[in-house]
Chain A
Amino acid sequence: SAVISQKPSRDICQRGTSLTIQCQVDSQVTMMFWYRQQPGQSLTLIATANQGSEATYESGFVIDKFPISRPNLTFSTLTVSNMSPEDSSIYLCSVALASGGADTQYFGPGTRLTVL
């Protein structure tokens, strides 16, 4: 398994500003993922962060809005840029660990973002 921490746990931000969320893992992992979970909804994958290369973004998400860094195998950041109230959501990072030919994902506790 993996233990994942995120900072901040929650924040209230003003429209037009940016917030950077940090994700720290207790072991080295190849792939880290960033998800968004809007109120009452399921998880939507924003992007996959690979160390040493640019993040891979899912349809509907762009690097200018959600820049991601992955400086090493235990750490990643997601920035939510030029925020609007529609960005209010829970942001989660996760890692995939392989076991028996299948990947299991382990999630951080999430960052609850409210944009006013």
Chain B
Amino acid sequence: SQKIEQNSEALNIQEGKTATLTCNYTNYSPAYLQWYRQDPGRGPVFLLLIRENEKEKRKERLKVTFDTTLKQSLFHITASQPADSATYLCALREGSYKLIFGSGTRLLVRP
């Protein structure tokens, strides 16, 4: 079955720097990959979707890359702010409708 790995250690960075989070997957060739943000006590919020034929996708300060050869996606937040502190989850489609989520990486942005 599909396996998704995200760094379980929190990423701690200084405000203004670029945060880079990694998502690796095995045993599947997804048509697209999604990134979500989850704040404590809240449900995940959709951020970005990148398709298998797209190398890169941008949305404001967010950038996602998708390397289907390496089976890896990178999620970047440029000019990070303390308000960006949250847990970021990547997710892949399995079958016709099921989303499989990674365990998430917690990002802490220090002022």
Residues of A within 8 A of B (CB): 4, 31, 41-43, 45, 48, 58, 92, 94, 96, 102-110, 112
Q: What does DSSP make chain B's interface, helix, strand, loop or mixed?
A: strand
Q: Which of B31, B43, B89, B104 contacts A92 (CB 8 A)?
A: B43
With a cutoff of 8 Å between Cβ atoms, the chain B residues found around residue A102 in the complex are 31-32, 49, 51
Q: What does DSSP make chain A's interface, helix, strand, loop or mixed?
A: strand
How many chain B residues sit at the interface, stated as a range, is 20 to 34
Interface string of B28-71 (1 = CB under 8 A from A): 00011010000001111110010100000000000000000000
With a cutoff of 8 Å between Cβ atoms, the chain B residues found around residue A4 in the complex are 43
17 examples of A-B residue contacts, CB within 8 angstroms: A42-B101, A43-B101, A45-B98, A48-B97, A94-B43, A96-B97, A102-B32, A104-B46, A105-B44, A105-B46, A105-B91, A106-B46, A107-B43, A109-B43, A110-B41, A110-B42, A112-B41
A109 to B49: give the CA distance in the assembly, Å.
21
Given contacts A96-B97, A102-B31, 7 further A-B contacts (CB under 8 A): A42-B104, A45-B98, A102-B32, A104-B34, A104-B49, A105-B34, A110-B43
